[in-house]
Structure 1
Amino acid sequence: MNKKDHIIKAALTLLTRNGVHATPMSAIAKEAGTGMGTIYNYYPSKEVLINEIYTMIKKEETALFANFSETLPIKTQFESYYKATLLFFIEHPLYFNFMEQLHASPLITEASRNVGRKTIAPVLSMLTSGKQYRIIKHIDTEELLQFIGGSIFSFIRWFQTQPKINKKTSLKNQLEMVWDAIKE
């Protein structure tokens, strides 16, 4: 792991544990085992660092669409996306905690949001096709995304506090409930 990776890991840990405003760059440098000069060589401000982490997570989310095929039925596409997203954030709890705190923050720049938007291009296409073919409710795409994203965040928050649940059953139930809510 190089210095930049140590800084990212330290920032993720501290930002999710302490919050943005309670995490100075000096604490991140100390946690990363590096000096302030080094951290500022990579990141001139905490906002730049936060946006770097945001775009890094969004780019890693792109892997969720490796097996995504627009030729599959809309329901299958949705199930594939939804399940992969839940599993991604369950397997990366620091990413989830970071995104939960900062996805709607004014600290995230428009350029970073555009990276995130590109990540979900297949989902946008799926929702558009689903509405066109009257498979998905004809509701504004942004509203659908907010609903779907909200269900993901809510489920993962709940999942993190339930050590004895049946993961497979719970994921299946969540997926069915959300599909039933958005289908025509």
Structure 2
Amino acid sequence: MKKKEQIMLAAMNLLIQNGVQGAPMSAIARKSCTGMGTIYNLFETKEGLINAIFEFIQNDLMENTGTFYKDLSVKDQFKCLYAAIVKYLVAHPLYFTFLDQFHNSPILFKQNRQQESLMMQPFIQLLAVGQKNGTVKMVEINELIPFLKGGLISFVRWILSEDIQLNDKLVSTHLFLAWEILRKELK
């Protein structure tokens, strides 16, 4: 593991466990077996470190869940994307907990907030196509996104907090419920 990743992993653990005030850079240095000079050479401030972690997780999430197939129906593309994100977050509980804890923090830089919005772009595009072809309800997409995001986050939080083994049946049930809310009823 690279030194930078070692520091970010130690920082994630301490920040989640103790909060920002309870995780001084000296404790992060001890936990990562790194000198203070190395940390400050890589990250100018604790805020910079927190933002670097946030950006790292977002990039990793997008790289590992961004592939879905354009030749599938809107419904199947939605299911593939949603399932990929759920499975990624459950497989990376430390990442999920960090994102969940810090996504509303005033510590985050503006570009990280904008990048978080970019993560929803595939959903926005799918919903727009679905509305255009008549498979998704004609509700403002900006109103649908918080529902999707909230449902996804709550589902992952429930799986992790209750130590439930994620399986295809659970994912399938959740996807069915999410799609049922989105889909336009045929007359």
Q: TM-score scaled by structure 1? A: 0.91
1:85 corresponds to 2:104: no
1:145 matched to 2:145? The reply is yes
Letter in 2 for 1:130: G
Letter in 2 for 1:99: L
| Partner Cα separation in structure 1 for residue 66 and residue 2 of structure 2 | 28
Give distance in 2, aligned partners of 1:175 and 1:183: 12
Across the two proteins, how many residue pairs are aligned to each other?
Answer: 183
Aligned pairs for 1:106-117 (under 5 A) are 106-117=106-117
CA RMSD of aligned residues (A): 1.7
Q: Is residue 159–residue 166 contact of structure 2 (8 Å, CA) maintained in 1?
A: no
SS in structure 1 at match of 2:111: helix
Give the % identical residues: 35
Residues 111-120 or 79-88, more deviating: 111-120
Partner of 2:66: 65
Residues 14 and 28 of structure 1 are in contact (CA less than 8 Å); yes or no, is this contact kept in structure 2? yes
Distance 1:48 1:152 in 2: 28
* Structure 2: stretches of 5+ with no match in the other structure: none
Deviations 1:95-154 (A, max 9, x none): 100011111222222211233333443222112111222322222323222111111111
Matched to 1:139, the amino acid is: V
How far residue 21 of structure 1 moved from its aligned partner, in angstroms, is 3.0
Q: Is the 8 A contact 1:29 1:35 kept in 2?
A: yes
The one-letter code matched in structure 1 to 2:167 is: K
Report how far residue 157 of structure 1 moved. 1.4
- Measure how far apart 1:165 and its partner are: 5.3
Once the two structures are TM-superposed, the CA of residue 41 in structure 1 deviates from its matched residue by 0.7
Equivalent positions of 1:95-114 (< 5 A) are 95-114=95-114
- Distance across 2 between alignment mates of 1:87 and 1:134: 29
**Residue 173 (1) aligns with residue 185 (2):** no
Determine the C-alpha separation between the residues in 2 that align with 1:164 and 1:122: 28
Match of 2:54 in 1: 54
Distance 1:27 1:138, change over 3 A: farther
Matches within 5 A, 1:122-141: 122-141=122-141
- Contact kept, 8 Å, 1:59 with 1:116, in 2: the verdict is no
Pairing 1:9-48 to 2, within 5 Å after superposition:
9-48=9-48
Match of 1:157 in 2: 157
| Structure 1 runs not aligned, ≥5 long | none
